[in-house]
Amino acid sequence: MKINPRYYPAIIIATYVIFLLLGILLGFGPERGGEGHENSALIQVAFETLESLK
């Protein structure tokens, strides 16, 4: 399927924004107040799943 070149920049920018938001929604968001961090929600779920399997 052909894509009109005028939509190409919009496709790239939209993809970038969607995946960035997806990353933030998965818990990889900006942290405030120093270097310390907590695991993301996704990693937390993965760890808990692993724990429950043991």
Instruction: Give the dihedral of Cα atoms 45, 47, 52, 53; nearest 10 deg.
Output: 110
2 binds other proteins (CB under 8 A): yes
48 binds other proteins (CB under 8 A): no
| Residue span 15-34 as binding mask against other proteins, x where in contact by CB under 8 A, dash where not | xxxxxx-xxx-xxxxxxxxx
13 binds other proteins (CB under 8 A): yes
Give per-residue burial for 14-32: e unless 16+ CB within 10 Å, then b. Answer: eeeeeeeeeeeeeeeeeee
- The footprint of other proteins (CB under 8 A) covers 1-6, 8-9, 11-13, 15-20, 22-24, 26-35, 37, 39-40
